[in-house]
Structure 1
Amino acid sequence: MLKIRLTRLGSKKRPVYRVVAMEALQKRDGKAIAFLGNYYPLEDSKVVLKEEEILRLLGNGAQPTRTVKSLLTKAGIWAKFEESKKN
Structure 2
Amino acid sequence: MFFSKVEFLTIEEGLGVQCMHIGSYDDEPATVQMMHDFMEQQGYKLDITEKRLHHEIYLSDARKLAPEKLKTVIRHPIKQKDTSNF
Larger C-alpha radius of gyration, 1 or 2? 2
Structure number having the greater helix percentage: 1
Q: Do the two structures share a fold, i.e. TM-score over 0.5?
A: no
Task: Identify the TM-score tier after normalising by the shorter chain.
Answer: under 0.3
Of the two structures, which has the highest relative contact order with CA contacts closer than 8 Å and spacing of 6 or more?
2
With the length of structure 1 as denominator, give the TM-score of the two structures: 0.26
With the length of structure 2 as denominator, give the TM-score of the two structures: 0.26
